Chain A
Amino acid sequence: EAQVTQNPRYLITVTGKKLTVTCSQNMNHEYMSWYRQDPGLGLRQIYYSMNVEVTDKGDVPEGYKVSRKEKRNFPLILESPSPNQTSLYFCASSLGGDLGEQYFGPGTRLTVT
């Protein structure tokens, strides 16, 4: 089954404790992205990657890091999480170009206390 998976689905952590949210897709997609969703703001792009070792900032990259060492994986790293990073996070992947749908993972609900 074609899918994007994220782990963990739920995470409660404390300020400053480094964490990684994993994202993996099995569709051989070139492009992958991370978004965060906050009430009243819709989804905003954090980072995206057009291929292995190629990443770029989205609209809200501060406080986040990403890496793309393999085509299928695109982890999101919070080196020193803060309460304002409490949010619902989505990973997405797509074939690239004007080819329609971006496939979303199930989401990771992160709470930073």
Chain B
Amino acid sequence: AQKITQTQPGMFVQEKEAVTLDCTYDTSDPSYGLFWYKQPSSGEMIFLIYQGSYDQQNATEGRYSLNFQKARKSANLVISASQLGDSAMYFCAITGQNTGFQKLVFGTGTRLLVSP
């Protein structure tokens, strides 16, 4: 079975500062992928970044980077230069080989508030 743990129910950051959202995972899959999604108050799920378990380099997408530490089973999201529009819920999710990469298991999310 796979599990995602997000221990921060809420985070506050000031505009232009960097913030790290924590995610730890548990899986028995030999091959797996980790995702981060953003859910603004409007409700849609917006894909941010993906990291495959065999990727040698940490994934980056613009202001988003994923700090992947395989031995520690962590996949933290780093948002650099926070903007007011970054205020949202953030979900970490995992998929794996044993489910044909067709099942995403989500954490409970972290609500990020960016203040001016």
Instruction: Give the B-binding residues of A (Cβ under 8 A).
Output: 31, 33, 35, 40-45, 48, 50, 58-59, 88, 90, 92, 94, 96-104, 106-107, 109
Contacts and interface: CB of A to CB of B under 8 A. Distances in A.
B103 A33 contact: yes
A40, A44, A104 — which one has the most chain B CB atoms within 10 A of its CB?
A104
Contacts of B43: 88, 106-107, 109
Given A59-B103, A88-B43, A94-B102, 10 more contacts: A42-B107, A43-B45, A43-B91, A45-B103, A48-B102, A58-B103, A90-B45, A98-B101, A100-B50, A109-B43
A102 B91 CA distance: 13
B35, B91, B102 — which one has the most chain A CB atoms within 10 A of its CB?
B102
B60 to A, nearest CB: 14
A31 B102 CA distance: 7
A97 B4 CA distance: 20
Nearest to A101: B47
Contacts, number: 66
Interface residues of B, number: 25
Give the interface SS of chain A, mostly helix, strand, loop or mixed.
strand
Nearest to B92: A42
B91 A48 contact: no
Contacts of A48: 102-103
Contacts of A42: 4, 91, 106-109
Contacts of B4: 42
Contact of B106 (A43, A94, A103): A43
Contacts of B114: none
Interface in B5-47: 31, 33, 35, 37, 43-45, 47
Contacts of B103: 33, 45, 48, 58-59
Contacts of A41: 108
B100 A50 contact: yes
